[in-house]
A = this chain, B = another copy of it.
Amino acid sequence: MTRKVLLLPGDGIGPEITAQAARLLDACRKAGLDIEIEEAPVGGAAYDAHGEPLPAATLEKAKTADALLLGAVGGPKWDALEDRAKRPEQGLLGLRKHLGLFGNLRPALLYPQLAGASSLKPDLVSGLDIMIVRELTGGIYFGQPRGIEERGGERVGYNTYVYSESEIERIGRVAFEMAQKRGGKLCSVDKANVLEATMLWREVMERLAPEYPDVALSHMYVDNAAMQLVRAPKQFDVVVTGNMFGDILSDAAAMLTGSIGMLPSASLNASGRGMFEPCHGSAPDIAGKDMANPLAMMLSVAMMLRYSLDENALAERIEKAVGQVLDDGLRTADLADDSSQAVGTRAMGDAVLEAF
């Protein structure tokens, strides 16, 4: 059965890295993968072309696709948009919400070839392999009521941080199962000493724990988690947390590797369908200059093959090919040091394709 993959190039460096992913998908097709590829606009690019960051036609295509590959959205060009609903980020948030992509997997993995790129001392990060499981369709990102309004003679801005038991349980199960497949350790991050919403979070995680006797559950306050990531990141295996804390901690964790340009992510719904995208952003400053690192995007293809299309063998071939080009010393500008000459986006894509 032919599966449908939807490419969403987006903004900034999105299109050029998506182009490399598309070449890789072509190669997979030649290797026997039965897929149909479509493309649709999202983010600022969609706003410019259609007046909406998530046009109805894009959402329609997304709903019928088996998997989505997203480049990146956003950029200073659209920062001044008064209407929040029109901002590029709303394209991304809309996709997450409409497709029910509640389970966000954000690995922070240190490639041994790139150990020197970390800002941390080598012994603290060598072998680093953390999986952050972030809840992606709830919490303060989507909570109602929200807005800016006049109260007592001045304006106030407000948002609602809210989680239900079933939302917490659902993401909790993803995390416990992930921990079972990995090192058996799960750290749930909250601020249960202050926030009621996270007290309930902690309670539900505790309630699930007996169902996963092979997983060691621990709890940590978010401020301490931010510290521990800097101090001794290798203490973590799987981390589970809400939407906003996950946003902050997953970026910090990714940066520990020094090579955020290497890290893919997955956002999955209840039936395992998902959206795959690099952890890095749209990097408008280097867009269109053939400078962006396409590897996180190409590794997102691997993650897609593994998680949504059940094609482990092809996923492994991609990951091996990426390892190979790193072994060969190829580095895009974000990773190049004095001893290596930077290659461009397309040349890096060529090299991966060759090694594939």
A binding-site residues for B, Cβ under 8 Å: 74, 84, 87, 89, 93, 119-121, 124, 140-141, 143, 146-148, 151, 154-166, 191, 193-201, 222-224, 226-227, 229-232, 244-245, 247-252, 254-256, 258, 260
Contacts and interface: CB of A to CB of B under 8 A. Distances in A.
A198 B148 CA distance: 10
Q: Which of A151, A200, A248 has the most CB of B within 10 A?
A: A248
Given A194-B89, A244-B191, A247-B222, A158 B160 contact: yes
17 contacts: A74-B193, A89-B193, A120-B230, A121-B121, A148-B199, A155-B165, A156-B165, A157-B162, A157-B163, A157-B199, A158-B197, A159-B196, A222-B247, A223-B250, A224-B251, A230-B255, A231-B258
Contacts of A140: 140, 161, 195
B160 A196 contact: no
- Would you call the interface of chain A mostly helix, strand, loop, or mixed? helix
Contacts of A231: 119, 255, 258
Contacts of A249: 226
Contacts of A230: 119-120, 230, 252, 255-256
B157 A158 contact: no
A159 B197 contact: yes
Given A157-B162, A158-B161, A231-B258, 19 more contacts: A87-B193, A89-B194, A148-B196, A154-B164, A155-B200, A156-B162, A157-B196, A157-B199, A157-B201, A158-B196, A159-B161, A159-B195, A159-B197, A222-B248, A223-B247, A226-B251, A227-B255, A230-B230, A230-B255
Nearest to A223: B251
Given A251-B226, A252-B230, A166 B141 contact: no
Contacts of A93: 194
Given A120-B119, A230-B255, A154 B148 contact: no
The 6 A-B pairs at the shortest CB distance, nearest first, are namely: A157-B200, A157-B197, A226-B252, A158-B162, A227-B255, A223-B251
Contacts of A251: 223-224, 226-227
A157 B167 CA distance: 11
A284 B148 CA distance: 42
